[in-house]
A = this chain, B = another copy of it.
């Protein structure tokens, strides 16, 4: 298993300079005479030299790698956001280590521990609701972190996201404005997920403001899968009095719900209106097209990348306000009165 990678010493020898100069040529070229720099660069090219990251990490105590831990990789909004996070980090000279805990919050700290062992300079997490152990480890290892997607004003320095409460409030207000009064909510699993809880609260507040209620039995907690959406529809279809609208916590839920409606011969939106959230690409492709809330998926990745690098460098990040969401009105929500 021996490799024959050239070392920096080989480079230095070939270039006729010291090990120190060779190292500086690569890391802080500004401190090196142009002539020396050139000699080193020539040697690097000639030997096809590539740094040994482990040695660099050991000596400098930085890995130039950032870990991102997601609930799942299997939702297009996360996939898109990972792309933008990765691209932006790359331009800033960092690599991205991606991990997921499969929507099992209790696994997150285990994943983090493994990542810590491998060594990273910082952390990007999703949401603000994490086990104490997660925050504890970050503190203990002095790891800067960014909490993405959710926005918590009390932690704004570490947050890059939007208000799930506001997004849900907006959507529920639209639903009310369209004349609906019998409203059900298909949310995700609330435990360990403040985004789900914020959505429930936002929805409830909007209904309350209109003199309506969101009874507990009309809040249906389902995993964020197509199947989850189907199950929600099956459940409300069994109720004596069916709601006129199902507000879904994600577009994935909504698309699953629409499929189930078809199977049950429920017309959307005539028999049941359905709304989503996220505005994934699919939302405009389904029939009827989905009324949903657009969230700044790509932007979250870009900004999380910039923020985390700032935090690593100890630069003062001026606190940014939450990102904005936008209602997208299509055909899946029926107007009952104008």
The residues in A between 72 and 126 inclusive whose CB is less than 8 angstroms from any CB of B are: 72-74, 76, 79-80, 82-83, 86, 90, 95-100, 102, 113-119
Report A134-148 CB contacts with B as 1/0, cut-off 8 Å.
000000111000000
* A61 partner, pick from B1, B48, B57, beta carbons under 8 A: B1
Is A285 in the interface zone, CB < 8 Å from B?
yes
Which candidate, A159-167, A172-180, A191-199, A254-262, is the interface stretch facing chain B? Answer: A254-262
Is A52 in the interface zone, CB < 8 Å from B?
yes
Q: How far is the CB of A140 from chain B (nearest CB, A)?
A: 7
Each complex incorporates copies of this chain amounting to 2
Q: Which residues of B contact A80 (CB under 8 A)?
A: 74
A285 to B61, CA, bound (A): 50
Interface residues on A, range: 35 or more
Q: How far is the CB of A189 from chain B (nearest CB, A)?
A: 18
A229 closest partner in B (C-beta): B285
A110 closest partner in B (C-beta): B90
User: Does B3 contact A285, Cβ atoms closer than 8 Å?
Assistant: no
- Please judge, given known A-B contacts A79-B79, A119-B53, whether A61 and B140 are in contact too, CB under 8 Å: no
A229 to B125, CA, bound (A): 34
User: Does B58 contact A54, Cβ atoms closer than 8 Å?
Assistant: yes
What are 26 inter-chain pairs, A to B, with CB distance below 8 A? A1-B61, A3-B61, A3-B141, A48-B140, A50-B117, A52-B117, A53-B118, A54-B54, A54-B55, A65-B118, A73-B73, A73-B83, A74-B80, A74-B83, A83-B102, A86-B99, A86-B100, A95-B97, A95-B115, A97-B97, A226-B281, A226-B282, A226-B285, A255-B282, A255-B285, A287-B287
- Please give me the 3 A-B residue pairs with the lowest Cβ-Cβ distance, nearest first: A54-B57, A259-B285, A54-B58
Given A50-B113, A96-B98, 12 additional A-B pairs, CB 8 A: A5-B141, A53-B118, A54-B54, A54-B58, A54-B63, A54-B119, A55-B58, A63-B118, A76-B76, A255-B282, A255-B285, A286-B286
